[in-house]
Structure 1
Amino acid sequence: MRELLEAVAAGEISPAEAEGRLNGYVTEEAGRFDAARPARRGIPEAILAEGKSVSQVQDLALTSLKTTGRALLTRLSDEQVSALETHLDREAPDATVDRRGSTMLVTAETDDRSSVPATVSIVTAGTVDGPVADEAELVCVDGGLEVDRLEDVGVAALDRLLDQVERLRAADVCIVVAGREGALATVVAGLVNTPVIGVPVSSGYGHGGDGEAALAGMLQSCTVLSVVNIDAGFVAGAQATLIGRAVADVADSSAKASNSEENLS
């Protein structure tokens, strides 16, 4: 603890970062931020901007940046994005901003995360599924995975998907984002031998057009896949990140075991 206090006194770390290391969370006016989640869970606490004021989003983003080296924000409005970018220019001018639609990943200049030797394929049925896929993609990017994005390959024209089968099979995990009846996830899962995560999207119209038909279709899939909630891009990205890391760990362990056997022989 003394070393931590000395680091604060020397200006090497902020009081917020010190609080996060001691308590596991940081208390701000906007709430308690779980600064220890990346170390404990392997994925960060995302800041859901929907329903929060501009000032709350700004405060939480800066807290996340100071305590974990990055901030992942989802469901941002245009007003929140504009205000946050201005706030970051003033308070964290060296930070890097990666924005995909309503999702934003902010990383500090000193961010030292390593890449993970695993690839996630993110597949969308149509253009309307893009924003949910964006959310999943930035979670995977934050986790250090390589992302291969495959768009607009819905089952209404199956040749678009069949042309990309080898590309899909090269990935370590697949996220399939689809609305309407959600059939794309079932088809992809029947073509690959990697884990598939289905994300139903609230697109379509009429009965079940709010994503319920896609959710029901994926839950009743005759091929094996996992399914997250409607529009839950963050959850899908987090699960894919954990799977990708597990795959990389197994590959690393196998390589080390092989090298040890070669040395013994």
Structure 2
Amino acid sequence: MRELLEAVAGGSLSPAQAEAELRGYVVGDAGRFDAAREQRRGIPEAIFAEGKSAEQVVALAETALETTDRALLTRVSESQFEALETHLGETAPDVTIDRRTATVRVTSPEYERPSLDATVGIATGGTVDGPVADEAAMVLRDAGASVDRVDDIGVAALDRTLDQLDRLREADVLIVAAGREGALPTVVAGLVDTPVIGVPVASGYGHGGAGEAALAGMLQSCTVLSVVNIDAGFVAGAQATLFARAIDTARS
């Protein structure tokens, strides 16, 4: 405690950093930020921007940078993008903004990117699944895992799946995103001996077209796979990160 107080008094530690050390989280006007989640769970807290004001998103991103040297943001709107660019563009040297996937990743000069000896394959059924898969890839690359992306291998033309089978089998973990009836993760899980995480995507026509049919199909899979919620790319990426960390630990 004394060392923390002396560090704050000496200017080498900010009050927010000290609060993060003591409580594990920081309280601000925009809410609490879980600065200790990565140490506790192996995955960082991401800032879910949807439903928050641009000012709240900027404040949380600044807190994340101050306490963990990086900020991950998902479901970012255009006004929030603009606010982040304005407020963080000059102070943060590495700002990656992806409007297609509605994500932002910001790191401070002190951030040291980790490296994991593990490869996560990400497969998509079609182009519409791309943004959800990209969200998962952002989490994995931030964690230092290698990502092998295989796109447009949906089961409407099964040859597209089978001609990528050797590549899929080389991955340590697989994330498979698919909309419509969500068959691709089930098919892939029956052909590989690695963990498969299925991600239902909100696409398709009419009844079940908002991802419900894909979710139900994956939950009812007769092959063994894990399933996350509809469009939950971040959750899939975080779960695969835990696998990758365990694999890296075992190999090292």
Q: Same fold (TM over 0.5)?
A: yes
Q: Counterpart of 1:32 in 2: which secondary structure?
A: strand
The equivalent residue for 1:235 is: 235
What are the equivalent positions in structure 2 for 1:162-201 lying under 5 Å apart? 162-201=162-201
Contact 2:50 2:77 in 1 (8 A): yes
The equivalent residue for 2:95 is: 97
Q: Residues 106-151 of structure 1: CA distance to partner in whole angstroms, max 9, x if unpaired?
A: 1111112420100111111111111111111111112111111111
Q: 1:108 and 1:170 mapped to 2: Cα distance?
A: 34
Letter in structure 2 aligned against 1:31: G
Cα offset for 1:9?
2.4
Is 1:118–2:141 an aligned residue pair?
no
Q: 1:208 and 1:149 mapped to 2: Cα distance?
A: 27
- Under a length normalisation based on structure 1, what TM-score does the superposition of the two structures give? 0.91
Q: Counterpart of 2:97 in 1: which secondary structure?
A: strand
The equivalent residue for 1:10 is: 10
Q: 1:112 and 1:8 mapped to 2: Cα distance?
A: 23
Cα offset for 1:69?
1.1
Cα offset for 1:222?
1.4
Contact 2:123 2:149 in 1 (8 A): yes
What are the equivalent positions in structure 2 for 1:23-38 lying under 5 Å apart? 23-38=23-38
Q: 2:92 and 2:34 mapped to 1: Cα distance?
A: 24
The equivalent residue for 2:210 is: 210
Cα offset for 1:38?
0.8
Q: Residues 188-226 of structure 1: CA distance to partner in whole angstroms, max 9, x if unpaired?
A: 111211000000011111010010100011011111100
The equivalent residue for 1:148 is: 148
Q: Residues 156-190 of structure 1: CA distance to partner in whole angstroms, max 9, x if unpaired?
A: 11222212111111111000011000000011111
Contact 2:92 2:108 in 1 (8 A): no
Letter in structure 2 aligned against 1:240: A
Aligned-CA RMSD value = 1.1
Cα offset for 1:6?
2.1
Letter in structure 1 aligned against 2:96: D
Tell me, which stretches of 5 or more residues in structure 2 are unaligned? none
Q: 1:168 and 1:99 mapped to 2: Cα distance?
A: 29
Mean CA deviation greater in 161-170 or 232-241 = 161-170
Cα offset for 1:18?
1.0
The equivalent residue for 1:136 is: 136
Q: Counterpart of 1:191 in 2: which secondary structure?
A: coil
Larger radius of gyration: 1
Contact 1:104 1:138 in 2 (8 A): no
Q: 2:245 and 2:57 mapped to 1: Cα distance?
A: 29
Tell me, which stretches of 5 or more residues in structure 1 are unaligned? 253-265
